[in-house]
Structure 1
Amino acid sequence: MSRSGIYVCLVTYNSMATLPAVLERLDRHCAPDTAMVVVDNGSTDGTGRHLERIRASAAHRIELIVNATNLGYSEGANQALARVPADAPAILLNPDVLVGPHWDVRLAAHMADTEQVGAVGPLGSLIGGPQEYGLYGAAPFASPQGTQELDQFVERLYRACRGHFRTVKFLIGCCLLITPAARSAVGGLDASMLLGADDFDWSLRARLAGFDLLVAEDVFVEHRKGTSTRQAGALASEWEQLSWQRFTERWATLVGQIGWPRLFEDEVELDRPRYRRIVHRPARP
């Protein structure tokens, strides 16, 4: 583990519908040496004032960056990543993700699971893709019904699946641990992808650089998907369209040559014979 501890990078925009619960859980469930960098992206709903109050009373160190206007999610995330020490793992977290006990150290424990781990993501509800709980890999219990069951479910899942993981072709950016090695070699998010596509883009860049992407099957989060995005209204829709347009322009040749299924869905990796669809390591003591 990095001597600098783990850094949680949270980007907010008019997030008061979910932010108080998210911050309360972070304060309760993060390791003592975990720090937070929070970027308020031009909020107008009182998010900034709430963050100032939380910073003064939180058990964990919180660094607050306030932007006068909304610079887009990717730029806000990069601002936060720039404050993370080079030797520390960074977890990008959306302000609509509820975490459970020991979520940060359990994600970070998977950094040594393969030869070169670039990023780790949890299982969850409403995450989608290979991280949607119950669709792929381990699903020993029914999903928790409501926030009150979340902590008990998280602990049961960890006991049943401790140390289990899968290598995948992309990770969703709502809760994404990036290792120091990958941050150094791959960089941050593409700021021209203002909202959306940035996680697919980063995942592909990381894989082409030789990094593995892992789903931690012993970590679960609750994603209240789109809660903050809806606050941006038509702007969010416009930014998402522009972001995917940028992604298509950047990767048109590769997608044309290889095809989307092989790039992001099929089990055959890009010239990576050591890619494995499902990998389990022995349970940790």
Structure 2
Amino acid sequence: MVILNWNGQKFLQQFLPVVIAHSPGCQVVVADNASSDNSILFLQKEFPEVRLILNSENLGFCEGYNRAMRQVKAQYYVLLNSDVEVTPNWLQPIITLMDADTNIAACQPKIKSYAKRQYFEYAGAAGGLIDYLGYPFCRGRIFESIEEDHGQYNDTRPIFWATGACLFIRAEAYWQAQGLEPAFFAHMEEIDLCWRLQLMGYKIMYCGHSEIFHVGGGTLPKNSPRKTYLNFRNGLALLYKNIGPDNLYKILLTRIVLDWVAAIKFFLTGYRQDAAAVFRAHWHLWQNRKYWQKRRAQTSHEHKICPELIYPRSLVGEYFINNRRVYPQLNIPNRAALPA
């Protein structure tokens, strides 16, 4: 288990004791991205049993994990955010599931809000899906609409992507896919990784019998132009890297137009830095097109992804025009689910 830390001493103080208590037999590693707080001194004094991996600079989420994973030998990795509260027996249901099927590359538990404990949490909820234009959503969360947990997602089923807040992943598959995309830095990196794994023939799963609570929003504040930039840049790069050749340019063009609409909305509502961030994101992709062309060429398109994991309509249209705000209203077939 690897926890990536950057100036997160307050979260380590609060949540690391619970992680250790509820993870018997599991090696706990903290990879530190050159924190400037007292995280390292705190860990050395209070948790000498925790292995420390020290990065010399803030490498971001992606490369920070990649470098740490190269130093960890295990059958499974668990990428765990520092702001996560785990629960008793959170590990075993997922390990049992993955042990039973070597074709499962990655899995996530049920992710609920630490602050509003009856509700799902934005980053992952009950498993991630995506629409055909690359807009991600979750069972339990569409855009800003978050469902209360009534046990409606206590199942085990394939999903399109598993959250990076708590990602169980087979080590062999992680390196077959070349790990997290380092150029992403942060945001949407887990979607890219899960997409590549599926194109290699692996499955991504959700296990509703394991549950954690996530604070969320620890990397960048919600209303941050930097976060806007990363989301729009990585969203387009995600599509360019992974969509098959038949529909690539049609989908990219549609997505670019929708991004411009979003930029205009930002501008008209007073978020001018966010509007500029959208155009900077597009300019970055054009400037670095040779890099992204190379990364696309390295993506396997040998296997097709289960069509039930990609919503065939525009999520933007369904949400904002047809007022479909919760997952059941999308009428997505659930034939792939396993018995609860």
TM-score (norm 2): 0.61
Is residue 62–residue 181 contact of structure 2 (8 Å, CA) maintained in 1?
yes
Distance 2:9 2:221 in 1: 12
Is residue 193–residue 244 contact of structure 1 (8 Å, CA) maintained in 2?
no
Residue number in structure 2 paired with 1:66? 54
Residue number in structure 2 paired with 1:91? 78
- What amino acid does structure 1 have at the position aligned with 2:336? R
1:172 counterpart = 2:217: no
Q: How does 1:66-215 map to 2 (within 5 A)?
A: 66-85=54-73, 87-114=74-101, 116-125=103-112, 126=121, 127-128=123-124, 130-131=126-127, 135=140, 143=149, 164-215=155-206
Is residue 96–residue 225 contact of structure 1 (8 Å, CA) maintained in 2?
yes
**Which deviations, in whole Å up to 9, do the C-alpha atoms of 1:126-165 show, x marking residues without a partner?**
13354389839xxxxx759xxxxxxxxxxxx8xxx6xx51
Is residue 168–residue 277 contact of structure 1 (8 Å, CA) maintained in 2?
no
Distance 1:89 1:201 in 2: 19
- What amino acid does structure 1 have at the position aligned with 2:53? I
Distance 1:30 1:258 in 2: 47
- What amino acid does structure 2 have at the position aligned with 1:131? G
Residue number in structure 2 paired with 1:17? 10
Structure 1 residue 93: Cα displacement = 0.7
What's the % identity of the aligned pairs? 21
1:219 counterpart = 2:210: yes
- What amino acid does structure 1 have at the position aligned with 2:124? G
Distance 2:339 2:108 in 1: 15
**Structure 1 residues 81 and 18, CA, compared in 2 at 3 Å: closer, same or farther?**
same
Is residue 111–residue 125 contact of structure 2 (8 Å, CA) maintained in 1?
no
Mark the runs of 5 or more structure 1 residues left unpaired by the alignment: 1-7, 137-141, 145-156, 268-274
Distance 2:149 2:13 in 1: 23
Structure 1 residue 39: Cα displacement = 1.1
Q: How does 1:266-281 map to 2 (within 5 A)?
A: 266=311, 277-280=336-339
**Structure 1 residues 266 and 246, CA, compared in 2 at 3 Å: closer, same or farther?**
closer
**Structure 1 residues 20 and 210, CA, compared in 2 at 3 Å: closer, same or farther?**
same
Is residue 18–residue 227 contact of structure 1 (8 Å, CA) maintained in 2?
no
Distance 2:55 2:196 in 1: 28
* Count of residues in correspondence between the two structures: 239
TM-score (norm 1): 0.71
Of 126-135 and 71-80, the range deviating more from structure 2: 126-135
Q: Does 1 or 2 have the higher relative contact order (CA < 8 Å, sep 6+)? A: 1
Q: In terms of Rg, which structure is larger?
A: 2
Residue number in structure 1 paired with 2:275? none
- Three-state SS of the structure 2 residue aligned to 1:93 is strand
What is the aligned-residue RMSD (CA, Å)? 3.4
Residue number in structure 1 paired with 2:37? 45
Mark the runs of 5 or more structure 2 residues left unpaired by the alignment: 113-120, 129-137, 142-147, 256-305, 313-333
